[in-house]
Amino acid sequence: MKDDRSLQTVQPEVAAATVMNRWFVVVGAILIQLCLGGLYAWSVFTTTLKASVESGGYAFTASQTQWIFSMGLACFALSMLFAGRWQAKVGPRPVAVVGGLILGGGYILGGVLGKSFLPQLLLIGVVGGVGIGLAYVVPIAVGVKWFPDKKGLITGLAVAGFGFGATLWVKLAGEWFGGLLNTTNVFGLPGVQSVFVIYGAVWLVLILLGSIVMVNPPAGWKPAGWNPSPAAVAKAGGSVDLTATQMAGTPQYWGMVLMFTGSAMAGLMVIGVIRLFGTDSLIANGVVTADTLDAAKKLAGGIAGTAMAWYAIFNGLGRIIWGSVSDKIGRKVSLFLMCLFQGVMMLCFYRLGASELGLIIGACVIGFNFGGNFALFPAATADFFGNKNVGSNYPWVFIAYGVAGIVGPQVGAYFQPSAGAVEAWKTPFMIAGVACLVAAVIALALRPVGQVKGS
């Protein structure tokens, strides 16, 4: 690695250390997260999985395809709790390596053995999800230690890789270069299984490469020229280093969990219903007309699909931009503004969705703010509870994402209207909007954490 002595301070305890260029950590983090984002590419496989065996499919039910995806999400969130504690004991690199081996191995075996539902559920859902959870926390934990001066930007860049990775793997499988689903026949396996094998092998190699730079800086190290005043450190919460148990005893932790849940449920709800809502709204408001209802639904669904594509793009951008902005104006103010803007947009989304442009604009804003969650909350965890244990602390904050992943889509599904009753969409959007506004109020009430006794 390049010896980057411009990053060293004059502290005697680290002056003699050979310190690598910290931007290598960013490259490794993005590389790892690009692979982990393959979880969100699941929708590219579902059509073939549900198709009949006679037409080259697997005859899975819609529920079975979603169970594989849901199991991946659940194992992702749960394994993060273990990964955070483990990497604090053995260091970040071994955890990233094991995560890559498990994720890659799960998909390779899922490709070879996944002719039926149960092997895919276990190998793609359970094993793959565990691998993602193990590797996910490492770039965040390492990044904030190397960039205490740019925590928001770095966490944003790292998790943006996860968001953009979904688009990359979807396009490679379905469209680019003819689509791997249509052009591959690895080991004589059909398209879906061949792609599992290819993706598993590629992800394994890329995560192992990224893990090379997943190392913590030397004890006592700080970036050159970064000498914040004690007041600035205290304001950011950097004067404490709490364990997960100590963190759970603070009101700040529970406030952040409630905020994350409220803010994330809005974005997850829209992911789940935007195609249905967009189709209903555009037809009901006369924006889309056709000779038959089926034809109108197809046209409106295409517009809603475009809105979802823009949602995904702005989701990735929001992770970077909100993270960078928060380094300048502070995490507390950024969390307040993000939740406030999201709340207002959710309250307006029903009316905005009555036009093609409004639907797309609303999707962009909601996706942008949803992406901000994944940059601001890990950085805020480091701010309030310390950089030292962020790898083991953030998974406990991330539990909120799992709760939101259940509440948001289920609230949207519960109020899903019957044919023609488009007004019913107002209720779930209002619930999500109010939840975001409550999160904004909680953000204003957050205060720095005082030193815990005995810590």
What integer pLDDT is reported at residue 173 of this predicted model? 83
Q: Mind listing the pLDDT tens digit for each residue in 334-364?
A: 999 999 999 999 999 999 999 999 999 999 9
pLDDT tens column, 171-197: 888 778 888 888 888 888 888 899 999
Tokens of 277: 């809502």
pLDDT of residue 453: 44
Who wins on pLDDT, 390 or 17?
390
Residue whose C-alpha is closest to residue 436's, from 255, 262, 315: 262
Does the pLDDT value for residue 239 go beyond 90? no
pTM of the model: 0.74
- Tell me: the pLDDT tens digits for 412-428? 777 776 555 788 889 99
Q: What's the fold here for domain 236-445?
A: Growth Hormone; Chain: A; (1.20.1250)
Give the type of residue at 347: L
Half-sphere exposure of 440 (CA within 13 A, CB side): 16
Range 20-211 classified under CATH 1.20.1250.20? yes
For 374-403, the pLDDT digits (tens) are 889 988 998 899 878 887 888 899 888 878
Start-end of CATH 1.20.1250.20 domains in the chain? 20-211, 236-445
pLDDT above 70: percentage of residues in the chain: 91
